[in-house]
């Protein structure tokens, strides 16, 4: 599933083709994805100006002139692809319609935004913009890891007396919004923290060290256009490149990249997810 850097990359790719532009026509080609689309979604989108695109955790939010906000979740295999952008941001002409093109937005500037999702684990909804933060999917989220509300005091407080493994704690969206398996593994490696350590047993300086490390990992991944492992594509259809910089994720049995470290990368399963780490560097 795309994590924060991938969703941020897609949002940035959509912005020049959508922000400030009217949706000339919306096509909704099926009644649902992960859950049913809101009633009359095509009608409610058609003719509306996209006032602003933003991201919250792993969701893309398009604020519309109608006072509604289109919430988009990519799910496991969802893609938001831009074609025919008159601003010259993308070199792609409109492709022929595909089987899994479930929602298509024809923009007033000639661009076409296609939501393609073969597995149909993605989702869309329409919310009232003024109360969007209170929506059940957004209200439970913790602070954005690249925002001002994510700081050392917050993480130390959240980890206090917590008996779950630090890997699980960092994946808890109530504590930090948008972090997923890939970037938690990479951050824990840089912090030299074993993923099975109890969050509440870590020293305050160790917990505090995670804050700038998480920010750095995410920022570097965004700069690289995210990580493409299976289905992820940027809005122009290109692959992300951060997977070439992984220190541990997906590198089971390979040598540790820390200079002079004799360790190899190990994989364990925690709560049904693979954790990758170096037993020499991470203790």
pLDDT, position 248: 95
Q: What are the domain boundaries of the chain? A: 4-134, 152-278
Q: How many CB atoms lie within 10 A of CB 213?
A: 17
Separation CA 170–CA 184 (nearest Å): 7
Distance CA 109, CA 137 (A): 32
pLDDT of 212 reads 98
Residue 279 in this model has a pLDDT that exceeds 60: yes
Percent of all residues in the chain with a pLDDT value above 90, rounded to a whole number? 76
Mention the CATH class of domain 152-278. Answer: mainly alpha
Catalytic center residues: 2-3, 58, 273
Question: What's the pLDDT score for residue 79?
Answer: 87
The pTM of this model reads 0.89
DSSP helix/strand/coil, 24: strand
Express each pLDDT in 88-122 by its tens digit.
555 557 777 788 999 999 999 999 999 999 889 99
Q: Tell me, what DSSP letter sits at residue 196?
A: T
Which residues are CB-contacts of 64 (< 8 A; sequence separation ≥ 6)? 45, 48, 49, 50, 51, 70, 129
Helix locations, 35-109, DSSP H:
41-45
Residue range 15-24, pLDDT digits in tens: 999 999 999 9
Q: Cα-Cα-Cα-Cα dihedral of 162, 168, 174, 178, to 10°?
A: 150
Instruction: Give the CATH class of 4-134.
Output: alpha beta
Residue 36 has pLDDT above 80, yes or no: yes
Of the listed ranges 58-67, 68-77, 90-99, 202-211, the one predicted with least confidence: 90-99
The answer to whether residues 16 and 236 touch, using CB atoms and an 8 Å cutoff, is no
240 and 229 in contact (C-beta within 8 Å)?
no
């Amino acid at each position: 599933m795309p994590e924060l850097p991938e969703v941020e990359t897609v949002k940035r790719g959509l912005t020049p083709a959508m922000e400030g532009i009217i949706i000339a026509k919306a096509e909704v080609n099926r009644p649902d994805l992960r859950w049913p689309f809101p009633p009359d979604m095509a009608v409610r989108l058609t003719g509306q100006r996209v006032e602003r695109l933003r991201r919250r955790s792993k969701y893309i939010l398009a604020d519309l002139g109608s006072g509604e906000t289109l919430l988009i979740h990519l799910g496991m295999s969802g893609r938001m692809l831009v074609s025919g952008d008159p601003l010259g941001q993308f070199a792609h002409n409109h492709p022929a319609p595909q089987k899994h093109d479930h929602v298509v937005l024809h923009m007033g500037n000639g661009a076409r935004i296609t939501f393609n999702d073969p597995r149909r684990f993605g989702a869309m909804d329409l919310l009232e913009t003024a109360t969007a933060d209170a929506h059940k999917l957004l209200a439970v989220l913790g602070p954005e890891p690249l925002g001002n509300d994510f700081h050392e005091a917050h993480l130390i407080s959240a980890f206090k007396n917590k008996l779950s493994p630090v890997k699980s704690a960092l994946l808890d969206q109530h504590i930090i919004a948008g972090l997923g398996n890939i970037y938690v593994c990479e951050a824990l490696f840089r912090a030299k923290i074993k993923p099975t350590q109890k969050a509440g047993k870590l020293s305050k300086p160790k917990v505090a060290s995670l804050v700038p490390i998480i920010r750095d990992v995410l920022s570097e991944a965004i700069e690289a256009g995210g990580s493409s492992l299976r289905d992820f594509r940027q809005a122009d259809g290109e692959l992300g490149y951060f997977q070439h910089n992984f220190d541990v994720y997906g590198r089971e049995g390979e040598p540790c990249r820390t200079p002079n470290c004799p360790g190899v990368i190990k994989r364990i399963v925690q709560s049904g997810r693979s954790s990758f780490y170096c037993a020499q560097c991470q203790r």
